[in-house]
Structure 1
Amino acid sequence: MRGLTATVAVGAVLAGTQGIASAATPPRSNSKNEAVYFIHGVDAMHTDVNGGGDDCKGTWNTAMSALRKRGWTGDFVTWGFYKKDTNCTRKYDGNLNTRIQELGRLLAWDIYDHYTKKGKSVDVVGHSMGGLIVRAAITGVNRYGATSSKWPKRLYIEDVATLSTPFTGTSWATTCTVAYGWKQCSDMRPGSGFLKWSGQNPQSAQGTDWTLIGASDDDTITSGAATGMDAKHKVIYAAHQGLEHSALPHKGPGTGWTMRYSNDNGKTWKSTTKGAGPIRRVGDALYYWSAA
C-alpha cells in the first residue's frame, strides 16, 4: 500500500473513539464549497492481475475544469485503487482481484479521516465501477460501522452522481470473469453476491441524494443498468450523441442534449432536446442537495 496505508491505520486507531471525535452532522444545503471525490472505473482487460491502471487526472480533468469554471471552490480528490494508477490525489495499491466491498471500506476511511470526523461533508462522482465503490462505502458503514472497528461509524456524503455505473450488473463483466477470472469482474456480474449485498439507495448519516446517469450509446453498460438502483434522480441520454462508455466523464459541459429524466425514482419521465450534458448534469447534481 501507498497513500492510504497511513489513512487506514489512523482510521483503525480512531474507531474506538470516533463517536467522540466526530463533529456535529453538517447541514444539507446547495453549495459549491464541499470537497468532491472523483472515482474512476475498472480497467479489467488484462492477462496480469496487476495490469489495471488509470490516469486519474486524464479521466477527470475535463469535469474538474468545468466545475471550477462554474464556481466550485472545495477540494477535488481523485481517488485511485490500482498500483499502476497515476496522477491521483490519493490511492490504494490494489489490483483486479481487490473486491469492490474492500475498496468501499478503504474509501469510507479516506472520507472519514479527511472530512467526516471534522464535521465536513463531501460529494462523490463515480464512473462505471467507481459508482459501485461509493455504494459499497455507504452500505458497509451502515451495516458494520456500529459493531466493527474495520469500518467508520458514520459518513457525511451529501450528493453522489454516477456515470454509467452497472447497478444491476453487466454481461461484459460475465465475459471478463470467464476470460480472466478477476474478482472485480465477478462482483459486477448480474445477480452477484456483491450487488445483492450493496442494497438500494444507501444513505450516509447526513442523508445522500443520488443522481444516476446512463446513455443509450453505451455498449458496455446499458442505460437500464446505469439507472437500475433506487434513486430520486435518473437521466438517460438518447443515442447518436457520441456518449460511449469511456466518453461520459469527458463530454457535455453545456446544454442542448437530447435526454429523458426523472426526479421521482423513475415513476415519471420527461424528455427534452435542450438538456444539460453529462458534465453539466453532474455539476447540477452536486450543487442541489435535493431538487435537481
Structure 2
Amino acid sequence: MTRSLTPALTLSALLLAGCASVAPLPTPAAQTAPAVSDALAAQPTPADATALQAQAVAPADFVLLIRGLEPFYSPSAHKDNSVTPAGCDTYFRDMIQYFYNQDALWGSKLRTVGFYDKQAPSSCYVNLKDVRPPKPYSSNLLLENRTFTNDTSIVQLGQRLAWWVYTNYTAKGYTVSLVGHSLGGLVARVAVGASGKDPRFPPTLAVKTMMTLNTPNNGATFASLANNVTWSCNTQCKEMTPGSDFLRVLNTDWDSGNSGVKYRFNLGGSNDYVVGDTRSSAIGGTGSACYYTNPSFDHGSILTDPSGREDATMKCWNDRRTAYTQAPVTATGQRHPLSSTFLWATSP
C-alpha cells in the first residue's frame, strides 16, 4: 500500500487518539510469567563480533504465541460478567501440543500472550495489562489503570507487547519469534513496526521471525458488517475495519520498522470468512505470504490441524506488497499450518 497519510494521521496522533481500555492475560499452568524488571536501562549488546555472528545463524531463543480477538468481551460484558474470555491454554491448545510433540525443548520455549481481563490468571504466560516499561522509560505507557476488553486499542496492546519483549528478552540478549493469530498478528506488527520509530516504544526489538495467521492486515469482513449495525463495533473492531486510520498507519508508517526481522510470513485460509478477502491476510511489508486452498482452512481451524503431511496446496506471493497487484502462484506439496508454523518459528 502506498497511500500517504494526512497531516492529522501522524504516529503520535494515532497513539493518543486510538487508545481506550485494556485487559489482562492468562498463563498455562506449566508456565510462570517472569516479573518485569524495573531496573533495566539501555539494551546491552553482545560483547563481540563472534557473539553477533552466532546469534545471526541461531534460531530464536523463544517463540511467542499471541492470541486474537474475543468479539463479545465488551466493557459491559466485563462489568456484568456475561462473557469470560478463552484462556491461551485453550486458544493455542493444539499448537502447544504440536510443538511439544515435535520437540519437547521447543515446547518449553513457548510463551503465550493474552490481553483481556477476567481470563484465568494461569492460562497465559503473560498478561499485557500488567506490563510496564523499565526505567528510564517508565512513563512511556499510553494509558494506565484501564480494564482490558475489546474496547482497548490494538496500538496500546502492541506497545505493551513491545516493552515486554524488550525488557524480558531483547535487553537480556535473547531473540524471539512472534506468531500472532488474527488480531494477535496486528498486535505483533505494531510492536515490531513502531519500535525504534516512536519514542514511546522501545528503541529496538530482537525479533527473528514474525508470522501472522489469518490476520486482517487490510481489514476484516466481520468488522465491516459490525460497523454497519447498531449492536456495537468497539475499538478493536473499528481498527480492523478496511480503510481505518489504524490500518493506514500500520501499512505505511509502521510497516518498514525494525529491519532486523529476518523472516516475515503471512499464512491464511481460503475458507476464512471472518477476514473475508484472502488478500487481506497477505499484505503488509516485505516477505512471503500464502493462503491454503486445499485444505481450505477457516479462521479457527488453521490453529488445529496437526497433520505432518506435505500435500497441501497454497496460493502464494513472494512479496506481500504485490497481493493487490499481481496474481498469486500456486504451490503444491506444502506443509499444513501447524507444521509450517513450527518450521518458520524455529528456523535459524
Which interval holds the TM-score relative to the shorter structure? 0.7 to 0.9
SS at match of 1:238: strand
Matched, 1:173 2:223: yes
Query: Scaled by the length of structure 2, what TM-score is found?
Result: 0.71
Q: Which moved more, 1:219-228 or 1:268-277?
A: 268-277
Deviations 1:192-225 (A, max 9, x none): 1111111354443633411100111111113111
Match of 1:38 in 2: 65
Give the distance between the partners of 1:171 and 1:82, measured in 2 at CA. 23
**3-state SS, counterpart of residue 165 of structure 1:** coil
In the other structure, the counterpart of 1:162 is 212
Deviation string for 1:90-131 (max 9, x for gaps)? 113411111000000000111111100011110011100000
Please tell me the root mean square deviation across aligned C-alpha atoms, in Å.
2.7
Residue 53 and residue 286 in structure 1: after superposition, are their counterparts in 2 closer, same or farther (change >3 A)?
same
Q: Per the alignment, do residues 49 and 152 of structure 1 end up closer, same or farther by CA in structure 2, a change over 3 Å counting?
A: farther
Answer yes or no: is 1:196 the counterpart of 2:248.
yes
Indicate if the aligned counterparts of 1:157 and 1:206 stay in contact, CA closer than 8 A: yes
Equivalent pair of 2:65/2:178 in contact (CA under 8 Å): yes
SS in 2 for 1:226: coil
Deviates more, 1:21-30 or 1:280-289: 21-30
Residue of structure 1 equivalent to 2:143: none
Q: Equivalent of 1:18, from 39, 42, 55?
A: 42
**SS at 1:65 equivalent:** helix
SS in 1 for 2:203: coil
Q: Which runs of 5+ in 2 are unaligned?
A: 1-22, 26-32, 130-147
For 1:207 and 1:115, the matched residues in 2 are separated by 15
CA contact (8 A) 1:36 1:76 kept: yes
SS of 2:113's equivalent? Answer: strand
Pair 1:288-2:347 in alignment: yes
Select the residue among 77, 82, 90 that pairs with 1:58.
90
Aligned residues with identical type, % of pairs: 23
Q: Identify if the C-alpha distance between structure 1 residues 218 and 164 changes in structure 2 by more than 3 Å, giving closer, same or farther.
A: same
Aligned residue for 1:104?
Answer: 158
Structure 1 or 2, whichever has the larger Rg, is 2
Letter in 2 for 1:260: K
Displacement of 1:29 in angstroms is: 2.6
Q: Contact (CA 8 Å) 1:29, 1:288: kept in 2 or not?
A: no
Distance in 1 of aligned mates of 2:221 and 2:278: 13
Aligned residues: 277
Q: Give the one of 218, 234, 238 matched to 1:186.
A: 238
Tell me, in whole angstroms, the C-alpha distance in 2 between the residues paired with 1:203 and 1:34. Answer: 21
Report if the CA contact (8 A) 2:194-2:257 is conserved: no
Contact 1:161–1:210 under 8 Å retained in 2: yes
On the 8 A contact 2:221/2:241 being kept in 1, the answer is yes
Task: Report if the CA contact (8 A) 1:43-1:52 is conserved.
Answer: no
Deviation at 1:244, TM superposition (A): 1.3
Query: Structure 1 length as normaliser, TM-score?
Result: 0.84
Aligned counterpart in structure 1 of residue 56 of structure 2, from 25, 28, 39: 28
Q: Which residue of 1 aligns with 2:20?
A: none
Judge conservation of contact 1:235–1:262 (CA < 8 Å) in 2.
yes
Bigger share in helix: 1
Letter in 1 for 2:279: G
Aligned counterparts of 1:229 and 1:55: Cα–Cα separation in 2: 28
SS in 2 for 1:159: strand
